């Protein structure tokens, strides 16, 4: 489910408009999917932050590809955790992704 957010970026050519659309969609989903709202919020903020950082700057393909790979990895971790009913596993996944995002800043 969360991987759908990164699919938007890939479908839009891994460019700034794709990151912006992914951020908008993720934030919308955060208000609709209460179970995964924190995951959508984290991915949406990361996509928006990247788009904002490169909106006036040239974006090299390798930079965009590295960012997309990170977002895809985060989405995969979260999707895997949310497939299970174990609430502790979900919390651990959310914490792990949030920590990785904070360290990447």
Answer yes or no: are the C-beta atoms of 22 and 43 closer than 8 Å.
yes
pLDDT average, residue stretch 41-51: 98
Q: How many domains does the chain divide into?
A: 1
Residues 6+ apart with CB under 8 A from 6: 22, 43, 68, 71, 72, 75
- What Å distances lie between residue 49 and 11, 34, 52, 104, CA to CA? 19, 23, 5, 12
pLDDT tops 90 at residue 58: no
Residue 88, domain extent: 3-104
Global pTM?
Answer: 0.94
Task: Give percent of the chain with pLDDT exceeding 90.
Answer: 93
Q: Are the beta carbons of 47 and 19 closer than 8 angstroms?
A: yes
pLDDT band of residue 86 (cuts 50, 70, 90) is very high
- Whether the per-residue pLDDT at 73 is higher than 90: the answer is yes
Confidence category of residue 48, pLDDT binned at 50, 70, 90: very high
Look at residue 4 and tell me whether its pLDDT is greater than 90: yes
């Amino acid at each position: 489910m969360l991987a759908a957010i990164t699919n938007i970026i890939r479908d839009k050519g891994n460019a700034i408009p794709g990151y912006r659309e992914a951020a908008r969609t993720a934030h919308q989903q955060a208000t609709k999917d209460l179970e995964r709202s924190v995951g959508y919020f984290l991915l949406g903020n990361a996509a928006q932050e990247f788009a904002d950082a490169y909106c006036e700057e040239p974006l090299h393909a390798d930079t965009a590809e590295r960012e997309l790979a990170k977002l895809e990895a985060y989405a995969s971790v979260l999707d895997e955790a949310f497939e299970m009913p174990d609430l502790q596993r979900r919390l651990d996944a959310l914490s792990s992704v949030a920590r990785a995002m904070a360290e990447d800043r």
